[in-house]
Structure 1
Amino acid sequence: MTRISSSGGTPTRASQSDTSVAAAQPKPEVRKPAVTSQDSFSRPTQKGVERAAVAINPDEFVPGPTRRDVYNDLDVQKIRSQSNSIRSFSEGEAQPRTREDALANADRLLGGANFLKLSETAQGANITRDAKDVNDAADTDPASPRHQAAVAEVEANAALEQEALDNLSPEERQQYQEVRDGLMAVEPAGDPVATLALQKLLLEGKLPGEEALGGEGDLLDQLHTLQTQELGEGIDRGALLSDVVQELATPESVNQRNKGTCAATAATIQLLMENPAEYVRLVAGLASSSGEVTLADGETVMKREALGAEAKGGEDVRSESQELLAPAFMEVANGDKDYQDKTDAHYEDGKKTHSGLYADEFDRLAEAVFDRKVDTVKGIGGAEEEAAAWELIQERTAAGESVAVGMTWGSGGHQVVVTGTGVDPKTGEEYVEYTNPWGRTERMPKDEFLSRLNSMHTRPEEKGKELDRAPRHPDAPDRIARTG
């Protein structure tokens, strides 16, 4: 698959869920009373109709530079200037680089921090981080400011990188170097952006990392396997390795792009946050010559779906890793149904049943991937239920965990990964922060979030007792559902 340019093209599927940051400010979304849908894959819920989470990003193919691109270009030039000043330290013109400086610059270049802080979405949220797509063509274009800034950063980090490598074993240093060499061999001019992401992982202390949930080694072992193993036909090793390393360094960069796989992508983001070695193990298994891998539950065997333009219904704009993982996750989630990536839908006996994933299908996927039971709190609608849900979210995120939630989104549903809550110091307004599978981080006011909240996925032993005690809403049968 070729690297994706940030401009040009035509969207392959319409959506009402958001508007481009380059376009005029959208009108606020009108909240209409829920009506019963005639879709065969909709289900009645307290808040109207439960639809499988399918919302996709409509901002993918806006011609010309967006505000994000303009700000990124300005910022990478600033980073490049700072990096050049570090290199002249020997002449006494600058201070030596610290690990904190290196990580801050890498985070800004990779994560798009603060570029769109005041940009409001059609759902009433603010975008706080908008990471570049990991397969952006600018990464390997020596003429692009992003490429040049990354080159300068990688060189400026050399002493810190060596210092961190000195703490690894000789075998681990060799593994790291081989992965690094693979990134700098990506056509046509190497990928310094991915190399900077690898440095970030090292300087953060995430390499060699923890053991994968399914075994077979730690994060560095898994990356080395991806770099050295035999690959399936048609898989570009350099592009795949580059995409994976950037997603590891910046989990919010994972993007469903033009497919309705937000729930599967949410599970991917949670896996990256919780056990990055397992994420690489799964991608490596799908990319291998056998094209299959056993999930952490020890029972579910996940297989690679067909690749190529014919199987995808046109060029696939997702990252190499998501092209492999997203359709495979959808297939695991739907049980006995058949997911077809070309039409982005599930089929049973040759008949389309639905797109996206329902809450119970997400549970099936999460239980296999993480090897633990998952409870879903559904039909959240009353004030007491919303208050209990908010308390549980605060408890779990304060403990450093993420919470996958289903939300009403436009005329359908969407799944996001909640990572924290807070209070705006200027307004005193409470908000929730979440990773949107559109490759960005957003903040939504508490009241707006709770009005949209339909379901939460949590561990059984952590399900809030307050929710169990909350009065049962008369229109919310099966408010708490457990899948097996």
Structure 2
Amino acid sequence: MTSLSKVRNAPVYTPPPPKETEPNTIVAKQGGPSPETSTPTKPEAKQKPGYEATSTFEATAPAPGAPKPGKEPKNKEEALLRADEILNPSSGEKRDDDWTVLNDGTDGKATGKKEEGIASAQVKANEKLEKEELAKLSEGDRKKYKEVKDAIGEYHDKGSEQLALQKMLFQGKLPGEKDLKGEGTTLDHLADAASGKNLAKGINRGDFTGTLVREMATPSSINQGSKGTCAPTALSIDLADKNPAEYARISKGLASNEGKVELADGKTTLEREKEASIKDDGSGRSINQRILAPTLMEFSNGDGDYNDKTGEGAGATTDNLDKLNDAIHGKNMRHESFGDNDKDKALSVIDSELKRGNNVLTGMRFEEEGKQHSYHEVLVTGTSEENGKKYIHFTNPWGTEERMLREDFADRVFSANYEGNDERRNGISLPSNIGRGGGLGGLGGGLGDLMNVALPALRDQQAASLDKLF
């Protein structure tokens, strides 16, 4: 079993200082690391670390036979392999012996001219296949696709974002299903964003549309940056994966002139946070995450008042995250907390949900209590077995896909938010040895002064799921 002391000394990403720091902005303490400034070195893949049938994500590592840059793919499978090699490159970084960062998705800020040139070459190589796939769409949808592609190209001609659009087409995500309110398909919302007709002042249609495309093509690239919003960011990753049209609808609504959107429950309206930064704030987040994450954080932090500039008010309990999950999906979701004697139960919940085709929002002890990344929220997406060892696969809202030995993960998990069946949300009491002295970090774990403010009121409560997620 991996010890927490070993993890403390593992190579956990350290967030670089913001380019422009507001007074009192919490950087290293508040939140997870920002994206790396260059594409990670990709070691030779020893295996294709794709996920088993229980996963909802595509296999993302390059595999033998993937076409070389700029070479025309033989089929969609080859095209997708090459797209993932560019958009979601292998990492291989070790956090510990049996804890590996498998893939580190690019988010637009981490790509330079060389990477964009490779992506552009692949976009051109895919043109024949793209034309064949577009022929399967209606004339109206083909027009919308062109509008989206043109908007991305007019802004900064990022080959990686155009490649992400092709990836969505090859995956069958376009035009896509309708959103949870029935207002439009994924492509409908992208085309609307590309028109720029109702976007708030200062939001460039090409930048915003390209960001949405990239995030929906590779949900695991969504990154919380240096902010303590791991819980709502992990939920966003799940939504972009499972309901891309709804993800686009909510994002577009918050980026609109009105800055508001009604959720699927029909009674909750989200409003864009006044501190949300349309301009790059140096936090390492995309334009969409700078708008979406603060809004979801405000909803899921209970009575707290979240300030995205200072980090004050960050943190979500499992119970409040459940309420956000309910409102977004328009139905009762479930949540549970697990004590030291509930490891088998925690794994049972995860296994059951994966078999249903669902991901699981999971609170885990990322480091020792009181350390920088003590507690963290991740999204469990699948399982695998290699050389007799069983692994849990999860997406870290730092923009990475990771895997950990199954028994080690079981030792760390203490909460889960998930869809479950039709039963109402449960209210299992929080064991006395959970959530006493730390919140979900990395999210921004072990947040020192922030924890001293956030936890005293929680310690005396007896309600379920008091684990604070940062």
Q: TM bucket by the smaller chain?
A: 0.7 to 0.9
- Rounded to whole Å, the distance in 2 between the matches of 1:109 and 1:217 is 30
Q: Show the counterpart of 2:272.
A: 304
Partner of 2:51: none
Match of 2:11 among 19, 36, 49: 19
Q: 1:315 aligns with which of 275, 282, 286?
A: 282
**Residue of structure 2 in register with 1:329 after alignment:** 296
Identical amino acids, percent of aligned pairs: 34
Report Cα offsets for 1:87-140 as digits up to 9, x if no partner: xxxxxxxxx62111111100111111xx323x21169621111112233352xx
CA RMSD of aligned residues (A): 3.5
Question: Match for residue 417 of structure 1?
Answer: 379
Q: TM-score under structure 1 normalisation?
A: 0.74
- 1:91 is aligned to none
Give CA deviations for 1:66-104 in whole Å, capped at 9, x if unaligned. Answer: 7438999xx99x999824443xxxxxxxxx621111111
What does residue 170 of structure 1 align with? 139
Equivalent residue letter for 2:189: Q
Shift of 1:174: 0.5
- The answer to whether the 8 Å contact 2:276/2:294 transfers is no
The equivalent residue for 1:244 is 212
Residue 203 in structure 1 maps to residue 139 in structure 2: no
Equivalent in the alignment of 2:445: none
More helix by share: 1
Change (3 A) 1:236 1:308: farther
| 1:389 partnered with 2:346 | yes
The yes-or-no answer on 1:56 pairing with 2:31 is yes
| C-alpha displacement of 1:243 | 1.2
Counterpart of 1:340, as a letter, is N
Tell me, in whole angstroms, the C-alpha distance in 1 between the residues paired with 2:184 and 2:34.
38
One-letter identity of the residue aligned with 1:286: L
Q: Distance in 1 between matches of 2:355 and 2:395?
A: 16
How far apart are 1:299 and its partner, in Å? 1.1
Which of residues 256, 263, 271 in structure 2 aligns to 1:295? Answer: 263
**Equivalent position of 1:341 in the other structure:** 308
**1:226–1:386 CA distance, 2 compared to 1 (3 A):** same
Matched, 1:264 2:232: yes
Question: Is the radius of gyration larger for structure 1 or structure 2?
Answer: 1
Query: Which whole-Å CA distance do the structure 2 matches of 1:137 and 1:366 have between them?
Result: 32
**How far off its partner does 1:481 sit?**
5.9
Query: How many Å apart are 1:233 and its aligned residue?
Result: 1.5
After superposition, the C-alpha distances for 1:31-83 in whole angstroms (9 at most, x for unaligned) are xxxxxxxxxxxxxxxxxxxxxxx973336467xx57438999xx99x999824
CA distance in 1, matches of 2:189, 2:298: 24
Aligned to 1:109: 86
CA distance in 1, matches of 2:9, 2:253: 34
Partner of 1:130: 104
- Identify which of 215, 225, 235 aligns with 2:203: 235
In 2, the alpha carbon distance for the partners of 1:61 and 1:205 equals 30
Residues 125, 445 of structure 1: 8 Å contact kept: yes
Q: Tell me, yes or no, if structure 1 residue 68 matches structure 2 residue 36.
A: no
Amino acid at match of 2:319: D
The yes-or-no answer on 1:192 pairing with 2:156 is no
- Using the TM superposition, name which of 288-297 and 332-341 deviates more: 332-341
Maintained 8 Å contact 1:123/1:409: no
Given the two structures, how large is their TM-score scaled by the length of structure 2? 0.76
Give the distance between the partners of 1:18 and 1:137, measured in 2 at CA: 26
Q: Is the 8 A contact 2:239 2:246 kept in 1?
A: yes
- Match among 274, 277, 282 for residue 242 of structure 2: 274
C-alpha separation between the residues in 2 aligned to 1:343 and 1:472?
30
Picking from 68, 72, 97, the partner of 1:82 is: 68
Q: Which residue of 2 aligns with 1:374?
A: 333
Asked whether 1:145 is paired with 2:119, we answer: no
1:432 matched to 2:405: no
User: Cα distance, 1:335 vs. partner?
Assistant: 3.6
